[in-house]
Amino acid sequence: MKNRENRTYEKALKLYNNGYIDKAIDICEMGISRDLSNSKLLNLKGLLLYLKGDLEEAVALFKTNRHFNNDDISSSYLKDIEKDYERLDLYNRAVECINSFEIDEAIELLVLCTESDFNSINVNKYLAICYLRKGDYLKSHENLSKLIEIDKVNVYAKEINKELNSALEIKDSSLMKKIIPVALLIILSIFITIFIKDKGNNKYNEDNIKAEEVQNNIEVNNSHNENNSNQTNDKNVNNEEVNNENREETSEKEDKGQEIEVLSEEEIKESYIKASSYYEDNKIEEAKAVLEKILPSAEKSHLRDDIMFLLASTYENINDVDKAINYYDSYIEEYEGGSYIQEAYYRAALIYKDRNNEKSKTYALKLKDNYPNSIYNNSKIQEIISS
């Protein structure tokens, strides 16, 4: 089995090195579906999605590999991920400039995006187009070459290359002045064609940004309603007991006049990194203590889902199954569509298998129906569904 997965990884890597990135991703998916512990395939697929600009999916894979396989490489990828979110914003602004024919401003923004490999396919595509528009054919060719090196069969690359060759032929022609208007019209047509094709993607990015804002509001409301929803859940006795314990602890602190320490976003981030390091070093109790300390302050933090999921993982790791499943349930309730939702469904389904078969099957079906191509939609999930 190990040799088979190594061959799968080598095949995917060869396809990527030869410029067939989509085929490489398909091979990665095939291998991952057979073996979730293949950290090399998980990292490779994450990297390929990273190059294509699919940041959310790439981050989800790196986080999965870090938690499931305790992979150091995934952890290193995630260290500077915040900067890539900033580059995604720069890229979206550049696209808006291009749509407004503000080419110089777009180039400035896109050049900033080249400081990392994130989204390099789209960044090089638009740089090639912008330089072509300005008549800087050498730079246009340089960026086009970078695009083709990663994605040899890219549709946009073929169109750009065709028009670049036409422009170079016109430049060398004695009839250049007569044909320039036609050339500009052709180049303009490329812009229009590509912008129409990318319109859906741009809308998707805008919707994601809006969705995150809505998600933050939902999280606040959910956190206020969490206790009430848990009280009405007659089927989950263990969750009820855990929540009662938590409420009693909070009540005791209030009676004694104790205040919960409120941490800043930077302190939350530093503490989360520390907890992650503890977890990766198998210092589970230390990780749990840090996470429990920062969770009350992280209600509005963008790291709250990371903290909650890692806390669930620490409890599962020390076999405190009641608290683990409580946090997995809470994560699923609050973060439908979150970075860890697929793994949360998977882990919760497995824990509930011998405790509450109906709940286990519910989570297994949600994983199968909502994420049919998930790496977690494996034989164990099929077994639960068929039981």
Which pLDDT score is estimated for 136? 87
Q: What's at 91, amino acid-wise?
A: Y
Percent of residues, the chain, with pLDDT higher than 90? 30
Instruction: Count CB atoms within 10 A of the CB of residue 350.
Output: 17
Which pLDDT score is estimated for 122? 95
Q: Which tokens in the block code for residue 263?
A: 């941490």
Q: Highest-confidence range of 50-59, 182-191, 262-271, 279-288, by mean pLDDT?
A: 50-59
Q: How far apart are CA 125 and CA 74, in angstroms?
A: 27
Going along the chain from its start, the domains and CATH numbers come out as 2-79 (1.25.40.10), 84-204 (1.25.40.10), 232-386 (1.25.40.10)
Higher pLDDT, 223 or 94: 94
Q: How far apart are CA 303 and CA 294, in angstroms?
A: 10
Q: Which tokens in the block code for residue 23?
A: 């085929």
Which pLDDT score is estimated for 118? 93
Average pLDDT over the chain reads 78
Percent of residues, the chain, with pLDDT higher than 70? 74
| H-type alpha helices, 232-264 | 237-255
Q: pLDDT tens digits for 49-75? A: 999 999 988 998 898 888 888 888 888
Q: Is the pLDDT of residue 384 over 90?
A: yes
Which pLDDT score is estimated for 340? 80
| H-type alpha helices, the chain | 2-17, 21-34, 39-52, 55-69, 72-79, 81-99, 103-113, 120-134, 137-150, 155-171, 176-231, 237-255, 265-280, 284-294, 304-317, 321-334, 341-352, 357-370, 379-386
Q: pLDDT tens digits for 343-374? A: 889 899 999 998 899 999 999 999 888 888 77
Beta carbons of 130 and 98 less than 8 angstroms apart: yes
Q: Is the pLDDT of residue 34 over 80?
A: no
Which pLDDT score is estimated for 261? 65
Instruction: Count CB atoms within 10 A of the CB of residue 216.
Output: 14
